[in-house]
Amino acid sequence: MARATAVSTAKPGKENPFEIVQRQIDRCAEILNLDPQVTNMLKHPLRELHMSLPVRMDDGSIKVFQGFRILYNDARGVGKGGIRFHPAETADTVRALAAWMTWKCSLLDLPLGGAKGGVICNPKEMSTAELERLSRAYVRGAYTFIGPDKDVPAPDVYTNPQIMAWMADEYSMIAGKIQFGVITGKPLSIGGSPGRGDATARGGMYTIREAAQAMGMNLRDCTVAVQGYGNAGYHAARLCQALFGSKVIAVCDSKGGVYCETGIDAQKAFDCKKETGSVCNLDTGERISNTDILALDVDILIPAAIENVITERNASQVKARIIAELANGPTTPEADEILYANGVHVIPDFLCNAGGVTVSYFEMVQNAYSYYWDEAEVYEKLDKRMTSAYHSVLNTSHQYNINMRQAAYVLAVKRVVEAMKIRGWV
């Protein structure tokens, strides 16, 4: 079985997300007393695709974009993972995200492996036509790597249902038949699932609810800060208000944010971002930075932006009782130790944000037999899966006397290793 050799692409001076993944695996291997050969297999992706994607721009020029698709581990089933369009994308970022997808699918007990994709680009500077040409070029480049029975992509940062629709259409045209099941996160009109739009945030809300109950916290009395105001961050703020009656007192995006002690309306913040480009232009409260928000005196902190924002340098400044990680990899292993020692309850990323892949799995099931559930049924099934996974992690944390992330790793990795052994890989 061929295995990709991971060559670091991290930028100097920045935390390498894939090295963080490998340190997390090493720690998990110690707890589980894994064979070093098994541990080494877990620390590397199964295969990688690096692509040069020439795209004709609106001015007639041809620009070559770099793209990736990485299948990390498919011992438990076909690959699953989103595609990011981001100017700071690297192969190591995609490797890390693919690894986290592997553990995420395993933790939720989904019959899927982990994968991830990305393109180095700035979609904010591209027209709709250019984005469509790039999306179709990506599928042409990755066609032999992806498929309903191989690896099923989905939306991620700066990609959306429309981009998924273009990709599904391109794949179908190459295949010569309708293959909408190659992609999830599609519009409802071509096989998308009800409930997919806010699934990541809604799944996170179910874990926050269970955590608050376990800690004796009344969510109606809780204050919330949300770092990152994309799809996940906006829906998190909205659902905190709608489901719990919590007070969202701070929100931010890449350009800055706003703090308002009396509360911020989630919808108004979203409308402001849509109209002006940033929530920091809200006509209420006071301006704060997207790093200062992490140290606010709130009950619940929701990092919903990018990796490595809570590190050993600022973890001791966190005052929140609960950190609900809707972003992938927002906390470094060193920060985890500090937070755990300080009594901060971290709901780790690949548990907290697993609502998206869970509803994507539901979409795959619905596509397979061409019968679709209503939104209420999707939410009911999602709630059941997220609640069960949360309590499994919490119980494992208590059993081993380890933090929540380590407990999530123990559960997820054990399942992946079991599948690898049963299949004869090790």
Which residues does the annotation mark as catalytic?
A: 116
> How many Å apart are CA 30 and CA 228, to the nearest integer?
34
Instruction: Give the full edge-to-edge strand order of the sheet including 286-288.
Output: 286-288, 256-259, 247-253, 223-227, 300-303, 322-324, 345-347
What are the CA-CA distances from residue 184 to residues 81, 166, 375, 389 (Å)?
9, 12, 16, 22
**Neighbouring-strand partners of residue 79:** 151
Within 33-71, where are the H helices?
Answer: 36-42
Residue 151 backbone dihedrals phi, psi, to 5 degrees: -160, 120
Q: Retrieve residue 223's tokens.
A: 């204050």
The DSSP 8-state label assigned to residue 147 in this structure reads: B
The b-or-e profile of 348-370 (16+ CB within 10 A means b, else e) is bbbbbbbbbbbbbbbbbbbbeee
